Structure 1
Amino acid sequence: MNVDYILSITKPMLEGAQMTVLLFLIAILLSIPLGFLITLLAKSSNKALAWLAHTYVYVMRGTPLLLQLLFICFGLPLLPVVGDYLVMDRFVAACVGFVLNYAAYFAEIFRGGLLSIDKGQYEAAQVLGFSKWQTTNKIIMPQMFRVALPAVANESITLVKDTALLYAVAVPELLHFAQTAVNRDFTIVPFFIAGIIYLLMTLLLTLFFKWLEKRFKFE
């Protein structure tokens, strides 16, 4: 196995990794705020909204992400009447599936963060004359994110690895090119290279969250 061969198979896998990174960025940037919104809805005094939020989290966390991706990609277009309007590009459909799925997990993480905050914080803010918005924005949210950050970091690393599910809906990403090389050349070297690329991505993400923890003195 020479260096030229390794370089020849690494190049397309790095191109596939670009799709992996793009999906990760889209999913993380959209699912975190959506997850926080779902957390707020779950705590709403409106019982119907709270029930919908809890049901959403239960369904998305209780069914496999792969099943959700297959349903969005191949199931939605089969729905009567509206199916024709729900046909999406495979990558777009995958992004929708990842965002909806991970929003449910982040919602639970943020809910745990909120539950960790002592009720005295709310009472003290009320005594000091803070409005609900000021209390949430200036007192509760900073503490919630401080508690939730380690779990958010862990879930983000899981997201990087789950991007390999793009392979199941025929989106050419890192694993797709690795599998193609294995089938063509009858060698497992591409799998090792793919593993190294995934490890590098998770390492960079881990270092980023470690920096965040130190930057904001979460440790």
Structure 2
Amino acid sequence: MDDFFAFAWERIIPALDAGLWTSILLIVPASLFGVAIGVSVGALRVYGPRPVVKTLDAYVSLFRGTPLVVQLYFWYFALPYVRIGDFALVLSPMWAAIVGFALCSGAYQSEYIRGGLLSIKRGQLRAAQALGMTPFQSVTSVVLPQAFRRALPGCGNEIIYLIKYSSLASIITVSDLTGMGRSLAKSSFRNTEVFIVVGLYYLALVTIASFLLKIAEKKLEIPGFESKRE
């Protein structure tokens, strides 16, 4: 046991601290972009014109129906071969991971937002428009804030999932927590110790994120509107 703690302190923690920063730089923008995509796509799928709705339904079906690993391989390995004339888009491993996670997460989050929007009675839209609001103002100022509050637990759960499946970024050479842990395990042949500590790092990230999301839910509660907890 003493040998485990010594190895963890001298080798594992310094290596994983570098990977932790990379994971944070990956998770935060991917989460923010995912929420933005989810809100936009969810709203357009409910209130957008029919061609837009059909297009976005296809986007959601595509990203929910294909493995995330395949999506990451496409953005990093296959996208450079998709050429328009002489132009080819080549993403760095980090940006390929951010784009892949954001688009996949946004597809799932749009379902939560869409469900939240559909739970709001249509009468509120008509009442807002009767007060002189435009349809866009009615949705963004009256309906969407209520829907987002109802969808927040689901969206928060998707962010938790994103933290955990961010470990897949290592398969496209991102040196995140999992990537650094894998490299150290290969060089030291101490897989058990390394991946126990890697798991603890992810557990800490998820715990912190869960705590922050609960604070956000509490801040967005409306007194007398939310269900009371005994």
Residue identity over aligned pairs, in percent, reads 32
1:170 aligns with 2:173: yes
Distance 2:137 2:159 in 1: 29
Q: TM-score, length-normalised on structure 2?
A: 0.88
- 8 Å Cα contact 1:77-1:83 kept in structure 2: no
The aligned runs of 1:13-52 (5 Å cut-off) are 13-52=16-55
The aligned runs of 1:1-219 (5 Å cut-off) are 1-7=3-9, 8-81=11-84, 85-187=88-190, 188-217=192-221
- 8 Å Cα contact 2:112-2:154 kept in structure 1: yes
Q: Give, in angstroms, the shift of residue 15 of structure 1.
A: 0.8
- 8 Å Cα contact 1:94-1:166 kept in structure 2: yes
Q: Using the TM superposition, name which of 124-133 and 137-146 deviates more.
A: 124-133
Residues 161-215 of structure 1, C-alpha deviation per residue, up to 9 Å, x if partnerless? Answer: 0110111111111011212222222221110101111000000000001111222
Distance 1:44 1:122 in 2: 11
Q: TM-score, length-normalised on structure 1?
A: 0.92
Cα pair distance change 1:44/1:120, threshold 3 Å: closer
Distance 2:78 2:122 in 1: 45
Residues 135-159 of structure 1, C-alpha deviation per residue, up to 9 Å, x if partnerless? Answer: 2232112211110010011000000
The letter for the 2-side match of 1:151 is: G
Name the SS for the 1:43 alignment partner. Answer: helix
The letter for the 1-side match of 2:112 is: I
Residues 75-103 of structure 1, C-alpha deviation per residue, up to 9 Å, x if partnerless? Answer: 11223555852122111111111111111
Cα pair distance change 1:129/1:168, threshold 3 Å: same
Name the SS for the 2:132 alignment partner. Answer: coil
Distance 2:206 2:110 in 1: 22
Distance 2:197 2:81 in 1: 38
- 8 Å Cα contact 2:46-2:117 kept in structure 1: no
Distance 1:55 1:29 in 2: 22
Q: Using the TM superposition, name which of 81-90 and 98-107 deviates more.
A: 81-90
- 8 Å Cα contact 1:76-1:83 kept in structure 2: no
Cα pair distance change 1:160/1:134, threshold 3 Å: same
- 8 Å Cα contact 1:73-1:88 kept in structure 2: yes
User: Which 5+ residue runs of structure 1 have no aligned equivalent?
Assistant: none
User: Which 5+ residue runs of structure 2 have no aligned equivalent?
Assistant: none
- 8 Å Cα contact 1:73-1:169 kept in structure 2: yes
Distance 2:103 2:4 in 1: 43
Distance 2:120 2:43 in 1: 15
RMSD: 1.8
